[in-house]
């Protein structure tokens, strides 16, 4: 039986922030955390998120956008909302599921006025690095 904590990273569209968090969690905590990601709605996997994660040594290209209803797993130990919208619209989870909220800026929104991918990537990299730091520290957050 798998004794790892089941952690769902929840975002608005499951296209970027929650996907990054899931990827980093797999890389750094696969022995103690079984990560999932989902969104309130599906927006498709963001290609620039895939690119910046690849730069960080994490391949999320095989992941796909999904909602909580699309997941086979429903019994999570923790739900981490990674944006205010997901926190406000968070679906109901059983009382045993702890909800942790940590808002990260939305890279696509920040990069909306960027003239090139390179200009846009600055925003994606900053948010990626913030998510990475949060995920690296996640076990201590879960058990505090």
Q: Is 90 a catalytic residue?
A: yes
Rounded to 5 degrees, what are φ and ψ at 101?
A: -115, 130
Catalytic residue, from 41, 56, 90, 100: name it.
90
Q: Is 16 a catalytic residue?
A: no
Catalytic residue, from 20, 40, 83, 135: name it.
83
List Cβ neighbours of 144 (8 Å cut-off, separation of 6 or more).
none
Please state at what angle helix 17-29 crosses helix 47-55, rounded to 10 degrees. 30
Catalytic residue, from 11, 45, 48, 79: name it.
11
C-alpha–C-alpha distance, residues 60 and 44, integer Å: 12
Instruction: List active site positions.
Output: 11, 83, 90
């Amino acid at each position: 039986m798998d004794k790892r904590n089941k952690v769902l990273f929840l975002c608005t569209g499951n296209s970027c922030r929650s996907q990054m968090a899931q990827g980093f969690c797999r890389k750094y905590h696969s022995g103690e955390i079984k990560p999932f990601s989902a969104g309130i709605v599906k927006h498709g996997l963001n290609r620039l998120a895939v690119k910046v994660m690849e730069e960080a040594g994490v391949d999320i290209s095989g992941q796909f956008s999904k909602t909580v209803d699309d997941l086979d797993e429903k019994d999570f130990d923790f739900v981490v909302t990674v944006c205010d919208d997901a926190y406000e619209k968070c679906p109901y989870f059983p009382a045993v599921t702890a909800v942790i909220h940590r808002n990260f800026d939305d890279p696509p929104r920040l990069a909306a006025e960027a003239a090139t991918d390179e200009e846009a990537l600055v925003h994606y990299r900053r948010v990626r690095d913030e998510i990475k730091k949060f995920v690296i520290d996640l076990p201590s957050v879960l058990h505090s």
